[in-house]
Structure 1
Amino acid sequence: MRIKDALRQSGLSSLDAEVLVAALLQKERSWVLAQTDTDLTNEQSSLFQACCTRRRKHEPLAYILRQKEFYGRRFSVNPHVLIPRPATEGLIDAACAFLTEGEQGLREVDTHIAVLVHTWRNESPDFLVDVGTGSGCIAITLALETGRSCTATDTSREALGIARSNAQLHGVAERITFVQGSLLAPLTHVTAPFFLVSNPPYIPDGEKLMQDVAEYEPHQALFGGHDGMGVLLPLFLEAKQHPFCVGCALECRSGQAQKLMQIL
């Protein structure tokens, strides 16, 4: 079967089909588009058809390919972890802007999504903390972009396994401590100043999501109670009350950020 025949018969959007072929052949998508008369082997055709079947059932491409690009780097993902999103790259930008320039306040990073950056203490953090690390993309990217050490927590043992693998992949495993636990509970005994950076679950329960998201991504990483603040607010309050948390950068809905600002 030629590439152009496989693409035409895939039953997928052109983009999805081209991305799958490119990944299967370990080529760039531009190569695929320029080489559509190239023959696929029987094994490649079978693998492609299997991937198409999964995608037609709305399984996200990132889970089929077992990877997702974030901040210019590839991260391993599976259904135990949330797929990294472009809005969270804005969280990285906001955290870096604070760490380098002291920039604080509210930053819009996507439609109705914002990052709230605020400090309670005028201290320089010794390390960074990523709560709900998932794939580890936040902690790993911050370690690479800032050169700082991080502590990354998650309630899921499976997610922490993926995060550790990604840290090894990107050469920062020695600078990130991974701990299982909820919110800031793993940092109870910390006696050095730290800065919290987190993308907690903030979607209100019952909100209708795309089928790709609703049926495949981990709900505990998406939904945050009736108003979406069931994790966000306790995390914010724990950070505010922790004697060594100097401040935070939190991704959330713009309206939720406004509510947090009222209790600063």
Structure 2
Amino acid sequence: MQIENCKLVVIIKDYFSKYSSKINHLDLELLTSCAIGKPREFVLAHPEYNLNKKQEERIKKYAKRQLKHEPIAYILGQKEFYGLDFKVNKHTLIPRPETEHLVDAVISNLQLVNNKKTIIIDIGTGSGNIIISLAKNNEQRPTTNKKIRYFATDISKKALSIAQHNAKKNKVNKKIKFIKSNLLDYFIKNKNCYMFHASCSMIIVANLPYLSKKIYSSSMPDVKNFEPRSALLSGIDGLDHYEKLFQQLILLRKNCFMFYPPRVDERSPRVEAGVLCFMEISPEQKSKIAKLIKKYFPNANIEFQKDLANKWRIVKLFI
């Protein structure tokens, strides 16, 4: 498209009039903001701003990418989540607004164990948005719990690199240990149970791949053609990763004696400490994951929570 007048207002109106069915106005403003290296507020406040040739070409390039259904978060290279900015690329899943409810659920529980030693493990951290949001929120609370230790695992080195970058960007990199691991494998195989103790509260938070084969195959092009398949699809019913996690939790409890409080008398019965898990699921999986949990943890306490769209989204599990 040839642009004769290089003023912002003309370019935005021209693109929107031609591609309004494919690019919404907000996205166009964000793309323009990124292209000219100015905040979106500048784009709105200075419609008379004249673009140079490089800026004009950049807008064209970004618009073409979105016309091919590439997510705007990948074009911009960032995504806001829980009030923080995160770098994202093709190696990481784009953080979703509904996942903020998962963070809320964990924070609500942390407020109940204030000043108690707590270990939080984020399984499949991706861009690190969950664990970083938790660490940042705790840091900003009036009564900061300095006894929380943060861990995050991911099987992808490239995803971990992005997560570490985001932790540094949000100034919590010294608080979080990032580990390359298939779910909890690192802790099981290396027997690093010294980090666990019965006097600690242990929280596992997981937003694992949970799309069924059917839902994934019918996903929108911006999801199916661009976001990492391994971060979305989880077998036929979408629960393969969670079943693997449950199997690992059994091994972790079995192998790591520090889940148990010390006994003054060795003849006294051993009392198990619990593990609190928070997981994000697809709404239609509620009954299936409940059955799966009972299969591995018959005595588990299960609570389901809805997101802002009134859909079942969070599983709170105490085992």
TM-score scaled by structure 1?
A: 0.85
Q: How far apart, in 1, do the equivalents of 2:70 and 2:125 lie?
A: 22
Greater Cα shift, 56-65 or 251-260 = 251-260
Q: Please state if 1:228 is matched with 2:233.
A: no
Q: Distance in 1 between matches of 2:49 and 2:100?
A: 37
Q: Please tell me whether residue 205 in structure 1 is matched to residue 234 in structure 2.
A: no
Aligned residues of 1:155 and 1:182 also touching (Cα < 8 A): yes
Q: Pick the aligned partner of 2:71 from 53, 60, 73.
A: 60
Relative to structure 1, is the Cα distance of residues 3 and 93 closer, same or farther in structure 2, using a 3 angstrom cutoff?
A: same
Runs of 4+ with >6 A deviation: none
Q: Does structure 2 conserve the Cα–Cα contact (< 8 Å) formed by 1:91 and 1:249?
A: yes
Percent identity over the alignment?
Answer: 36
Summarize the Cα distance change of 1:240–1:255 in structure 2 as closer, same or farther, 3 Å threshold. farther
Select 2:82's aligned residue among 68, 71, 76.
Answer: 71
Give SS of 2:66's match. helix
Q: Measure the CA separation in 1 of the matches of 2:285 and 2:40.
A: 39
Name the SS for the 2:86 alignment partner.
strand
Q: CA deviation at 1:240?
A: 5.1
Distance 2:252 2:287 in 1: 22
Gaps of 5+ in 1: 103-123
Larger radius of gyration: 2
User: In the alignment, is the contact (CA less than 8 A) between 1:239 and 1:248 conserved in 2?
Assistant: no
Could you tell me how far 1:34 is from its partner in structure 2? Answer: 3.3
In the alignment, which residue of structure 2 is the partner of 1:106? none
| Residue 259 (str. 1) matches residue 288 (str. 2) | yes
Residues 184-193 or 68-77, more deviating: 184-193
2:135 to 109, 122, 143: 143
* Superimposed CA distance per residue, residues 53-83 of structure 1 (whole angstroms, 9 cap, x where no aligned partner): 1111111111111000000000000000000
Question: What is the deviation of 1:177?
Answer: 1.0
Instruction: Indicate the larger mover: 210-219 or 192-201.
Output: 192-201
Work out the number of aligned pairs and report it: 243
Stretches of structure 2 that go unaligned for 5 or more consecutive residues are 1-5, 140-147, 254-258, 260-273, 295-299, 301-319
Aligned-partner Cα distance in 2 for 1:86–1:125: 29
Aligned partners of 1:7 and 1:183: how far apart in 2?
A: 45
- Aligned 1:114-153 pairs, distance under 5 A: 126-147=118-139, 148-153=148-153
- 1:83 corresponds to 2:94: yes
CA contact (8 A) 2:211 2:232 kept: yes
Per-residue CA deviations over 1:203-242 (Å, capped at 9, x if unaligned) read 1013211111110000110011100001022213433553
Question: Are 2:239 and 2:289, in contact at CA under 8 Å, matched by a contact in 1?
Answer: no
Report the CA distance between 1:137 and its aligned residue. 0.7
Higher relative contact order (CA 8 A, sep 6+): 1
Do 1:202 and 1:231's aligned partners in 2 also have CA atoms closer than 8 Å?
yes
Give the residue type in structure 2 aligned to 1:6.
I
Report what 1:6 is aligned to: 11
Whole-angstrom distance in 2 between the partners of 1:21 and 1:47:
8
Q: How does 1:26-37 map to 2 (within 5 A)?
A: 26-37=37-48
Counterpart for residue 186 of structure 2:
186
Distance 1:237 1:99 in 2: 26
* TM superposition shift of 1:37: 2.3
Aligned partners of 1:150 and 1:257: how far apart in 2?
A: 28
Q: CA RMSD in A?
A: 1.9
Q: Is the 8 A contact 2:207 2:280 kept in 1?
A: yes
Shift of residue 259, structure 1, vs aligned partner: 3.1
1:211 maps to amino acid: P
